[in-house]
Structure 1
Amino acid sequence: MATQKDVEASIPPYDREHSEHKEDLEVKSKLDDDLDLLPTTQPTAKPQEKKKLSAAVIIPIWIVLSSSVIIYNKYLFSVLDFQYPVFLTTFHLAFATVGTRVLQRTTNLLDGAKEVHLTREMFVRSILPIGVLFSGSLICSNVAYLSLSVSFIQMLKAFNPVAILLISFTFRLQDPSRRLIAIVFMISGGVALASYGELHFELFGFICQAFAVIFESCRLVLIEVLLKGLKMDPLVSLHYYAPVCASINALVIPFTEGLAPFRALYQLGPLVLITNAMVAFSLNVAAVFLISAGGGLVLTLAGVFKDILLITGSVIIFASPITPIQIIGYSIALGGLILFRTTSGKK
C-alpha cells in the first residue's frame, strides 16, 4: 500500500540498448510489492550523498518496515474491523504528499526532484495515466486483504513478473525466448499450485488481487515506455504521484465507501491511523537507502527473504493456514522468480 512492489520488482528486458532501464524496472517490481504501497519509478543509485547506510543495516530495516506495513494494514482490516481500504489508501497518499514536501524543504533526500522538469504535457501524457493505474493497483490490492490471507496474497504476487512479460510480449517490447517462456510456465505453475492448495479460497478477493497484478504490471511497463531515461528514486516518484493518486482515490470514496469510514474514525482513533501512515511512509524513505546500498541480486534475495518471513508471520499472527501443496507451489514460483531476476536479458 503504501506505497513496490516498494521497492524491486516488481523486468518493473528489451534489447541491449535498454538493458539499464530493464534492470532498474526489475528491482522496482520486487520492492513495490508491497507495494500495495507507494510508487517507485526507475530507482537510481547515482546520488552519492544518499549512500549513508550499509546493506547490513538498511536491509533488515527495510524488511521490518515492509512486513510491518502489510501486517498493520491486515490488522486494521481484520482485527480492528476498519474495512475501508480505499479510505486508508487515500489517507496514506495524502500523508505522503505532505511528508515528501516537508522532506524536500528540510533534507536533501528529494534533491533528485530538481532534475525532473515536469511539463503540462508530461503530466497529462505520463504522470496521470501511470497514477491512474497505480491507484487501481492500490485499491484492488487492499480490497483483496479483506477476504484473502496475507500469506496467499504474497503467493499471488509472485505472478507479477509473468504479467509484465506477457504484456511486453503482446506489445512487442520484448522478444520471447525459450528461457523466458520456461520461467513463465514455472512461475505460473507454482502460483496455480499454491492457489489450488488454498483452504479458504475466496473468488472476489482473488479477482481483486488479479486486477491489482494487471494494473501494477501495466504501470511498470508504462514507466519503461513513457519515462524512458527519466530516473526517479522512490521519494521523488512519490512526490509526484502521491497527490495525483490521492485525488483519484478521493473521487472514488463516495461511490465505494461513502461516509462510513469517517464515522468509524472515532472508534479507530487518530493515533492508529497516523502511525499506520507513518510506517508506510517510512518504508519509502528506507527504499531510497536500500536501492543505494545493494545491487539487484541483493535486493532480490532480500525481497524473497522478506516474503518468506511475511508468510510465516501471517501464519503466526493471524493463524492463516497454509498447506503442503501451497509450500511446494510457492517454492516453485520463487525458484522461477529468482531465475528470472538473475538471468533476465541473458540469451
Structure 2
Amino acid sequence: MRREGSGAGDGGGAAVADGVLKKVLLSYAYVAIWIFLSATVIVYNKYILDPRMYGWPFPISLTMIHMAFCSAVAFLVVRVLRLVEAPSSPSMTRAFYLSSVVPIGALYSLSLWFSNSAYMYLSVSFIQMLKALMPVAVYSIGVFFKKESFKSASMLNMLSISFGVAIAAYGEARFDVTGVSLQLGAVAFEATRLVLIQILLTSKGISLNPITSLYYVAPCCLACLLVPWSFVELPVLRARPAASIRPDLLIFGTNSLCAFALNLAVFLLVGKTSALTMNIAGVVKDWLLIAFSWSVIRDTVTAVNLFGYAIAFLGVGYYNHVKLQALKAKEAQKKAAQADEEAGKLLEQVDGSDSDPKANSQA
C-alpha cells in the first residue's frame, strides 16, 4: 500500500513538473518568436527605407501598406471565413469605438509613421538605444494621467536611463537631428498609446484577441494615415514617373506578411505571458539588434555608444525588477484576500450550523 501511495505521489509530482516545464518552454517559445519577428521587421523596414539600400523613401506609404494588409486579413478571418468571432460585448458600440479605439489607433499610426521615418536617418543600433527611453515616457505620461504615483526613487531611475541615452547619443557617429526627433516622437506617441489602453480599454474590462485587435485597430490606423499621406507623400508620388515608384511585390508582400505576423506575436506574447515579459524580452532583442547592426549591416557602434547604452540598460533592468516585485506583491495580496474570503465563508457556514435548531435538537 505504501509503495502504491508513494508511486501515485511521485506520478502526481512528475505530472506537475511536466506541466510547469511545458509552460516555461512555451513562454520561451513565445519570446523567441516575438524577438525573431520584431528584429526581422525592423531590419526589413530599414532595408526598404534606407537610401543606401533599397531606397524607397515613403514611410507613410509603407505603413499604410502594412495596415491595409492587416485589415484585409483580419476582415477575411472574422467576416468571410468566420474563423474568429467578433466580440459581441455591448460595450463595443459606435460611440465607444470613436471615443476609445480611434484615439488608440491614431496614436499607433503616428508611432509607426515616425518610427519608420527614423530608419531613413539613423542606424538600427542607435534607434534601439533611443528606444530605451520608453519606460521614461510611459512613467512620465502615467504620472500625468494619474495612472502612476510619483516616487523620488522612480524619477531618479528615469533620470539615469535618460542620462545613459544622452551619452549614447553624444557618441553616435551618424547623429541626425531629424532622425532623433522622429524617433523620440515615436516613443512619446507609443507611450501615450500604452497608457490610454489602460485607461480606455483595460479599466473597462474590454479585452481583444490578436485578430479582433487588428480587425478594429488596423482600419483606424489606415484612415488616420491617409491624412498626412495626402499632404506629405501623395504630391511627391504624383510628380515622379510611375516606373520609379512601383514597389516590388515580393519585397513588399513578404514585408507586410512579417508585419502582420509581428502584430499577432505581440498580442500572443502579452496574452500568454505578460507585458513585463515583453519588456524584458525587448532588452534582449535590442542587444541582439545592436550586435547585428554592427556585424552584418556594418553600422558604426562606438565605445561611447555602448557605455551610454549600458547605463540605460541597467536603469531599464532596475525598472523591470521593480515592476516584477510590484506584480508579485499584488499577486500575494490577491491570494491573501481570497484566503480571507474563503475563511470568512467557512466561519459563516459554521455559525449557521450552530444556530440551526434542527441541528441542535438532533445533537
Q: CA deviation at 1:279?
A: 0.7
Distance 1:118 1:297, change over 3 A: closer
Between 1 and 2, higher relative CO (CA 8 Å, sep ≥ 6) is seen in: 1
Q: Report what 2:110 is aligned to.
A: 136
Matches within 5 A, 1:217-296: 217-227=191-201, 228=203, 229-258=205-234, 260-261=236-237, 263=242, 267-295=246-274
Q: CA deviation at 1:56?
A: 3.6
Matches within 5 A, 1:1-347: 54-78=26-50, 79-104=53-78, 106=81, 110-111=84-85, 113-115=87-89, 117-227=91-201, 228=203, 229-258=205-234, 260-261=236-237, 263=242, 267-295=246-274, 298-344=277-323, 346=326
More helix by share: 2
Question: In 2, Cα distance between the equivalents of 1:69 and 1:265?
Answer: 24
Distance 1:170 1:267, change over 3 A: closer
Distance 1:168 1:61, change over 3 A: closer
Distance 1:288 1:278, change over 3 A: same
Q: Which runs of 5+ in 2 are unaligned?
A: 1-22, 330-363
Comparing 210-219 with 89-98, greater Cα deviation is found at 210-219
Q: CA deviation at 1:116?
A: 7.1
Distance 1:61 1:265, change over 3 A: farther
Comparing 172-181 with 88-97, greater Cα deviation is found at 172-181
Contact 1:116 1:230 in 2 (8 A): no
Q: Report what 1:43 is aligned to.
A: none
Given the two structures, how large is their TM-score scaled by the length of structure 1? 0.78
Q: CA deviation at 1:115?
A: 4.5
Distance 1:214 1:318, change over 3 A: same
Question: In 2, Cα distance between the equivalents of 1:296 and 1:240?
Answer: 21
Instruction: State the identity %.
Output: 37
Q: CA deviation at 1:112?
A: 6.9
> Which AA in structure 2 matches 1:185?
L
CA deviation string 1:287-346 (max 9, x = no partner) = 344334435554333222111111111223321111111111112212211221221274
Q: CA deviation at 1:265?
A: 7.0
Q: Count the aligned residue pairs.
A: 296
> Which AA in structure 1 matches 2:320?
R
Contact 1:55 1:293 in 2 (8 A): yes
> Which AA in structure 2 matches 1:183?
N
Question: In 1, Cα distance between the equivalents of 2:134 and 2:90?
Answer: 28
Q: Indicate the RMSD between aligned Cα atoms, in angstroms.
A: 2.5
Contact 1:194 1:325 in 2 (8 A): yes
CA deviation string 1:39-65 (max 9, x = no partner) = xxxxxxxxxxxx9x8234333222211
Contact 1:198 1:323 in 2 (8 A): yes
CA deviation string 1:207-261 (max 9, x = no partner) = 1111111111111111111222322244332221100110111232121111545
Q: CA deviation at 1:189?
A: 1.1
CA deviation string 1:74-109 (max 9, x = no partner) = 00112111110000000100000011122335475x
Report the 3-state secondary structure (helix = DSSP H, G, I; strand = E; otherwise coil) of the residue aligned with 1:198. Answer: coil
* Greater C-alpha Rg: 2
Contact 1:85 1:143 in 2 (8 A): yes
Report the 3-state secondary structure (helix = DSSP H, G, I; strand = E; otherwise coil) of the residue aligned with 1:113. Answer: coil
Q: Report what 1:7 is aligned to.
A: none
Q: Which runs of 5+ in 1 are unaligned?
A: 1-50
Given the two structures, how large is their TM-score scaled by the length of structure 2? 0.75
Comparing 196-205 with 180-189, greater Cα deviation is found at 180-189
Comparing 263-272 with 121-130, greater Cα deviation is found at 263-272
Distance 1:74 1:119, change over 3 A: same
